[in-house]
Amino acid sequence: MTHETENHPCAAGGWNRETSTAAAPDSPGSGASPIATAPIAANREFGPCLLWPTATGEERWVIGRWNGEEWCDDDCWVFAPTLWAPLPLPGNLAAAEAELAELHRSATLKAAGDEIWDRFVALDAWIAATPPSTLSEVAVKLRRLCDPDSGIETLRDRDVPCLQQVLSFVEALCSADDLKGAGTPDAAALTLFQDWIDLCHRRDEAYEAEEDDKAERLGEQRDDVEAKIASVRGSRAADAIKTFLLVMNKIVQVCGPGGQLRDASLIGDNMITNVLCDAAAVVPQLAELCAPIIHADARLIDADIEVGFLCELPTTNNERWRAERRSKLIAALDCIDATEAKTERGAAIKARWRRGELLASE
């Protein structure tokens, strides 16, 4: 991997390190220590770290390392610094990758100075030197190698697709515990899905307030979010969410509040249930959205939603409509009476609805 300025993404805005006019600090600051105190040993590498002054004698910090024999800067120039200081680096590889992305954006929007360059180089070197502890961190390192601007330079045409295949496979294997990493496809998918859930609730509220035009706009926004989720690749979380959305849009008969899946004909269907259970194991938010189909008390949950919906409908003098509503209410209450509760949630549903009182009010 190279850090030559003309090929580095920080130079995209026309900045050149050799001609940069950024002012260099005239003192090393209070965090500096004599170079003799650096924890180095023969034949053992140390760094990256901050070194003072530069190989050309400039009074400023530079990123460098101990190569096991001598001090050298990032361009492999050997020199004799007088001071050193540890790098203020992030706590994990995902955070380092996210900061790299932010530095890249800032450097392409305005003229970059030495501080941006040095921080970029330090983070890139730290990612390269730090062993991964999770599959998500393996993916971070692979993404750096595959980066078109600062990744491996001398690759054959077939090598880049090969590395991308390895990266996609590793990202697909990332466990649910790793889905929180900043700047990853998983994080993007989860953020989009939370937006989708929020839009579902806002759309429900708009319909309840009889603001149909607003509800339609929110529905269109939700569709746009679904399209964005569909475009996320190399993400186990995105695949789980796409499975849920596919079942919702192509298979189920009714959507409950907040985007819940409702289709009593699918309860007990091993294929659908197993697919949705697998998706919920990756993205826990899906468990409640799929509860009317996959929960142990799915039939009671579905009937509970139906009774609640029917009870909230406004009254009317239309006899045909009232008869249809009463018929549906009786069917839902019959289901609750006839279905044995398997969990505390199911027992609570059976205790919630008083059949006589509900039907008397009809």
At 179 the pLDDT is 47
Is pLDDT larger for residue 151 or for residue 231? 231
Q: Do 235 and 190 sit in the same domain of this protein?
A: yes
Q: Whole-model pTM? A: 0.49
Is pLDDT larger for residue 17 or for residue 64? 64
Q: Do 118 and 77 sit in the same domain of this protein?
A: no
Is pLDDT larger for residue 314 or for residue 70? 70
What is residue 1's DSSP assignment?
-
Of 294, 320, 341, which residue is a domain's last?
Answer: 294
Residues 60 and 24: beta-carbon distance below 8 Å = yes
Q: Do 62 and 114 sit in the same domain of this protein?
A: no
At 299 the pLDDT is 93
Maximum CA extent, the chain? 94
Of 150, 174, 198, which residue is a domain's last?
Answer: 174
Residues 241 and 208: beta-carbon distance below 8 Å = no
Q: Do 210 and 256 sit in the same domain of this protein?
A: yes
Q: Do 200 and 269 sit in the same domain of this protein?
A: yes
Select the highest-mean-pLDDT range: 23-27, 131-135, 176-180, 197-201. Answer: 197-201
Q: Which domain holds residue 332?
A: 297-362
Is pLDDT larger for residue 325 or for residue 146? 325
At 362 the pLDDT is 61
The pLDDT of residue 339 is above 50: yes
Residue 229 domain-assigned (yes or no): yes
Q: Do 151 and 209 sit in the same domain of this protein?
A: no
* Mean pLDDT of the chain, nearest integer: 76
In the chain, the number of structural domains is: 4
Residue 199 domain-assigned (yes or no): yes
Q: Do 80 and 105 sit in the same domain of this protein?
A: no
- 180 falls in which pLDDT band (50, 70, 90)? very low
Is pLDDT larger for residue 79 or for residue 13? 79
Q: Do 203 and 270 sit in the same domain of this protein?
A: yes
Residue 225 domain-assigned (yes or no): yes
Nearest CA to 328 out of 310, 346, 312, 314 is that of 310
Is pLDDT larger for residue 293 or for residue 257? 293
**pLDDT (mean) for 140-154:** 70
Of 123, 140, 174, which residue is a domain's last?
Answer: 174
Q: Do 301 and 345 sit in the same domain of this protein?
A: yes
DSSP codes, 294-353: HSTTHHHHHHHHHHHHHHHSPP-S-HHHHHHHHHHHHHHHHHHHHSPP-SHHHHHHHHH-
Residues 6+ apart with CB under 8 A from 242: 229, 230
CB atoms within 10 A of CB 151: 16
C-alpha–C-alpha distance, residues 10 and 118, integer Å: 10
The pLDDT of residue 318 is above 90: no
Residue 261 domain-assigned (yes or no): yes
Tell me which residue has tokens 């009774």: 307
Strands 261-262 and 46-52, how do they pair? unpaired
- Classified as helix, coil or strand, 73 is strand
What tens digit of pLDDT does each residue of 261-304 get?
988 889 988 899 999 998 988 888 898 899 999 998 999 999 99
Q: Tell me the percentage of the chain whose pLDDT exceeds 70.
A: 73
Q: Do 160 and 188 sit in the same domain of this protein?
A: no
Residues 39 and 135: beta-carbon distance below 8 Å = no
The pLDDT of residue 23 is above 80: no
At 338 the pLDDT is 92
Q: Do 266 and 288 sit in the same domain of this protein?
A: yes
**pLDDT (mean) for 220-244:** 90
Residues 322 and 329: beta-carbon distance below 8 Å = no
Least confident of 99-113, 201-215, 316-330: 99-113
At 183 the pLDDT is 58
Residue 68 domain-assigned (yes or no): yes
At 28 the pLDDT is 53
Least confident of 17-26, 214-223, 278-287, 313-322: 17-26
| Cis omega (within 30 of 0) for bond into 292 | no
At 125 the pLDDT is 72
Please classify residue 164 by burial: count the beta carbons closer than 10 Å to its beta carbon, then call 0-12 exposed, 13-18 middle and 19+ buried: middle
Q: How far is CA 353 from the centre of its chain?
A: 40
**pLDDT (mean) for 148-172:** 66
Residue 179 domain-assigned (yes or no): no
Least confident of 13-27, 218-232, 301-315: 13-27
Q: Is 60 left (phi over 0), alpha (psi -120 to 50) or beta?
A: beta
C-alpha–C-alpha distance, residues 76 and 67, integer Å: 9
